Structure 1
Amino acid sequence: MLSPLDFLDYCPACGGTIDRAKPHAAKRVYCCIECSRAEYHQMEKIARLEAKKDRPPCRRCGAPVPVGKLSRAVYCSKACQSAEFFEGRKNARLEAKAQRSPCRHCGAPVAAWKYGGALFCSEACRSAGAVAKWCDFCGEAFKGIARRKYCSLTCAARHRQARRRFA
């Protein structure tokens, strides 16, 4: 059991005096509720900071994650977080390009620097891979990709106008 000698006559938080003449003041440690709460929150804060000291280092650079950051933080700074994000996106893009299908004409791999929908490895393969077709509007022969129906934009526009007239 605690004795009155265990309690001091001054507040450990602010140094103010504790009036022991008031009711229930015999077991009082702090002079007021504000000092009690402030000390409690300070103890909580210290405990949280101690718990954060044992977390793993930064995922990117290996530096220690500052104690002031959130407990779920895995990067030491915003710069490390951004660099990791953009590097990951870049690697994903390059992996997707590396897995694309080979050239439709010669079977050679399509260069990774070409845009994502590239079907041919070079301009020569693209021209050679074109199929001889007949224009649906004027009947003229032309070389084009499989889905093309008209030899020029002019023929496509004339076909649309003719379709509107007869519709």
Structure 2
Amino acid sequence: MRTTPAVLMVPELADEPGFVHGFSTLAVGSVGLKHAPDPGLVLGARKAFLHALDLDGVEPTTIGSVHGAEVARVDEPGGAVDDVDALFTDRTGVAIFATYADCYPIVLWDPEKRVAGLVHAGWRGTQAGVSAAAARFMRDEYGCRHIRAGIGPGICGRCYEVGGEVAAKF
């Protein structure tokens, strides 16, 4: 991934015309509101992250992250879609945003159809098939046939270990 102080990017997708993506670093601070002691600091960090992506003034649409395989389309900016783990858009000016603790971000892009997607993939969502559901959605909803994907940074096994009962599910 290409690194800036505030953002990591998938190098193979970093220079795609019309596709802006990135993963925030600690340089901007915490972007997760769910357990934030000071929501104002988090909103400031989100603003700094969007600025680092040259998305000043954009109101992102947030993925609810339910640890499943539900996917949805987004046509308007802002707000949240609470019951999904993946969002897609083909609209200019619509930014998709999610937070990840012990899960992984997956970005998807079809340069021909100009469809962008973001997947929240933890072990539960992976077991439920969220990545396959996302690819099928791109194909069925938008007619995508040239999907490019990248996996963002996530927690390592040294910092987060699942038990044998979870490993057995795979």
- Which category describes the TM-score, using the shorter chain as reference length? under 0.3
- Structure ranking higher in strand proportion: 2
TM-score (norm. length: structure 2):
0.17
Structure 1 or 2, whichever has the larger Rg, is 1
- Structure ranking higher in helix proportion: 1
TM-score (norm. length: structure 1):
0.17
Using CA pairs under 8 Å that are at least 6 residues apart, name the structure with larger relative contact order, 1 or 2. 2
